[in-house]
Amino acid sequence: MKTIKTIGIVGAGTMGAALAQKFAQENFSVVLADREDKFVHRGIENIIKMLQEGVEKRVFTPEKVQKILSNIKGTANLSDLKECDLVIEAIFENFEAKKELFNSLSNIVPSDTIIATNTSSYSVTELAYNIVNPERFIGLHFFFHAAKNRLVEIIRGSKTSDDTFNATYRCMVKSGKDPIMCEDAYGFVVNRFFVPWLNEAVRLLEEKVASPEVIDYVCMQTFGIGMGPFALMNATGVPVAYHAEKTLEIFGNLYKVADMLKAQAEKNEQWELKEANADDITPSIAAIINERMLGIVFFVCAQLIEENVCTTTDLNKGARIGLQWKKGPVDLIQQYGNDEVKLFIANIAGRYSEKLPGNIEKLFFPLEYISLKKTGDTAIIRFNRPEDLNALNEETVKQLDQQFKLAEEDSKIKNIVITGSGKAFVAGADIKFFVKNIRNKKLENIVAFTKYGQEVFEKIDKSNKKVIVVLNGMAFGGGLELALCADTILSVSNAVMAFPETGIGIYPGLGGTFRAKKKLGKGLAKYLILTGKLLTAKDALNAGLVDNIISVDEMLDITEEGKNIPEAAPRTTENNWAAIAGIFEANTYENLLQGINLDGQMDKEEYEKLSKTIRFKAPVAMKIAEELINNGTGPDSELQQLTTIFSTEDALLGLSSVGKKVEFKGK
């Protein structure tokens, strides 16, 4: 399989320039090509502007910006793309122009260079007719702003080879994109329901149901979004929405462009949007808007599932990541329930004289938050909820339990790999669940959730198979506690890990107190839990928390193909943590707050920083955590203190103010 190191982008416009920026940020060599020098320069100027904004927001240092820019070579000569392993086409959405480009490209780049299209509306299979060796052709549909939006739809044409798919998929993961897989159907996944959703908003306006601002307001509430359909069309261009809907008309009457959208696009004018007037948003009007806007999404999603364009999980992910909806279509389907969803779909089908999609039942299946893939003697379990940083909730823990059981019971399986997706391995537990149950005085739900989590983690810890955790990104709180159940913890170099619990008023309750002690010793376990220190992979390797650091390619060999699993993890001999471990082993957190005799073990400044960190943690949580690390005897000990800790004022304060500085009261 090809390893992609150099990426060519053709078209330095809105999408092409943003893609060049993103790949350069991720350390790929990029060749950015356009028709003429002036268009190349415009593209590069736009990249510079974006990066400068990044410097102002402290996302990048000026040195990093220089490094990113040095990774990009601009050119108006397509033959400079010869050196690329992958070329992504991002030129005008015009079939003839794309066809012509692919004909020339086929003669320029080597025959094994992968060629991809960012088309929004054409068929990947049809575009591939213009490529010599069409097995190296694939669709990569990115989303605005392509340097920031993590979603990419990967579309195989009828001839795309497995090697092309695998190499491209790996490249997308390496460049920080969250891929979803789609069949080659017009509009792919997201545009297929998003654009008709915009169109339906215009129909509501046309029918004088409500004003644009009222429709926007209701949609913002229902879908949990910052902009409604009219504001969105104004931001991205009304003609873009019109052309996108026009290409979907092939699917039937429901997709027909609204007359008013056509007229507005021809005038090339924005929608007039005023401040929404609360008196205009009556419950009955909101109900009509809701039913129509949800109905259209549910109907199209049912069709997408019926046509096997994608899985329900990818469908939901597409909306959550690509459109930033707080609730994806499938979340909304689960929320509204069987009867109402079916009614909405039937009403929409009736309104546009469409056939009812079959297979609606599939929409009510739970989302697959934890996937299981078996390859040879290895089972790969993946947290597949990157839109929520793979946070642990009741459903993910249940699915982890089920998938682990399937791997565990399979006699052919020797290794069980557990990993994450997106930016995180597992970034802790679902805080909202804790806050809701504290407020509703239902602490028994928190106890039950924790007890079940402990049982599942215990099974992983005690498994007879070899369990390897591969940290692909952040591992916080419950995520780190899960990692500690593995026989081997591998990490990519940019993963980070921490126990943030005492900083949000609680303590690790999923085995962190005794498994950290077992792996790291009492002193270091106390240090990490009491300070919440954020460790880089290198720090964690030195501390003995991580057993080995691997490259992203090595990670992908293990987590995609179950290949090259290390036999025994080599333990690091370098340990820079002895002084800290000694201090925390010998002192209580109260001693550390009052001041200790350093005896040259640590310099004063470092100690003062440490003690200041502890001063901002929740005192009751610290006391219990310390007691558990010293004397706890396992999961039961952690469970016994749970009601006490979740009853404190500090727990509610900390959990409801994550990311903010708070002053704990010790109550």
Q: Which residues bind ligand NAD (CB under 6 A)?
A: 10-16, 33-35, 39, 90-93, 97, 101, 118-120, 141-142, 144
The pair of structure tokens assigned to 396 is 């993910």
Active site residue 491: no
By beta-carbon proximity to ligand NAD, the closer residue of 39 and 194 is 39
By beta-carbon proximity to ligand NAD, the closer residue of 120 and 164 is 120
Distance, CA of 37 to CA of 24 (rounded, Å): 20
Residues in the chain: 667
Active site residue 637: no
Question: What DSSP character marks residue 322?
Answer: I
The pair of structure tokens assigned to 359 is 């297979």
By beta-carbon proximity to ligand NAD, the closer residue of 180 and 289 is 180
Active site residue 551: no
Active site residue 587: no
Give me the least distance between CB of 328 and ligand NAD, in Å please: 19
Distance, CA of 265 to CA of 14 (rounded, Å): 20
Give me the least distance between CB of 93 and ligand NAD, in Å please: 4
Q: Which position among 106, 123, 175, 191 bears the catalytic label?
A: 191
Strand pairing category for 137-142 and 151-156: antiparallel
Give me the least distance between CB of 156 and ligand NAD, in Å please: 18
The pair of structure tokens assigned to 166 is 């695998």
By beta-carbon proximity to ligand NAD, the closer residue of 120 and 415 is 120
By beta-carbon proximity to ligand NAD, the closer residue of 144 and 364 is 144
By beta-carbon proximity to ligand NAD, the closer residue of 119 and 641 is 119
Distance, CA of 614 to CA of 593 (rounded, Å): 7
Give me the least distance between CB of 259 and ligand NAD, in Å please: 24
Give me the least distance between CB of 201 and ligand NAD, in Å please: 19
Distances (CA, A) of 615 to 527, 596, 610, 622: 13, 15, 9, 10
| 224 Ramachandran zone, left/alpha/beta (phi>0; psi -120 to 50) | left
Distance, CA of 359 to CA of 345 (rounded, Å): 12
Distances (CA, A) of 358 to 31, 299, 308, 335, 351: 46, 10, 12, 20, 17
CA atoms within a 13 Å half-sphere pointing along the CA-CB vector of 487? 16
By beta-carbon proximity to ligand NAD, the closer residue of 101 and 497 is 101
Q: Which position among 71, 106, 120, 421 bears the catalytic label?
A: 120
Distance, CA of 109 to CA of 115 (rounded, Å): 9
Nearest residue to ligand NAD by CB is 13
For residues 451 and 639, is the Cβ–Cβ distance under 8 A? yes
Q: Which position among 141, 316, 421, 491 bears the catalytic label?
A: 141
Give me the least distance between CB of 157 and ligand NAD, in Å please: 16
Break the chain down into helix, strand, coil percent, rounded to 5. Answer: 55, 15, 35
Give me the least distance between CB of 406 and ligand NAD, in Å please: 38
Distance, CA of 507 to CA of 510 (rounded, Å): 9
Give me the least distance between CB of 219 and ligand NAD, in Å please: 20
Collapsed DSSP state (helix, strand, coil) of residue 20: helix
Q: Which position among 46, 123, 130, 153 bears the catalytic label?
A: 153
Distance, CA of 642 to CA of 570 (rounded, Å): 37
Buried residues in 655-665 as b, exposed as e (16+ CB within 10 A)? bbeeeeebebe
What are the DSSP calls for 602-615, one per residue? Answer: S-HHHHHHHHHHHH
Continuous H helices in 150-189: 162-174
Instruction: Provide CB contacts within 8 A for 149, sequence distance 6+.
Output: 142, 143, 321, 322
By beta-carbon proximity to ligand NAD, the closer residue of 20 and 345 is 20
By beta-carbon proximity to ligand NAD, the closer residue of 122 and 217 is 122
Q: How far is CA 166 from the centre of its chain?
A: 20
Give me the least distance between CB of 116 and ligand NAD, in Å please: 11
Catalytic residues: 120, 141, 153, 191
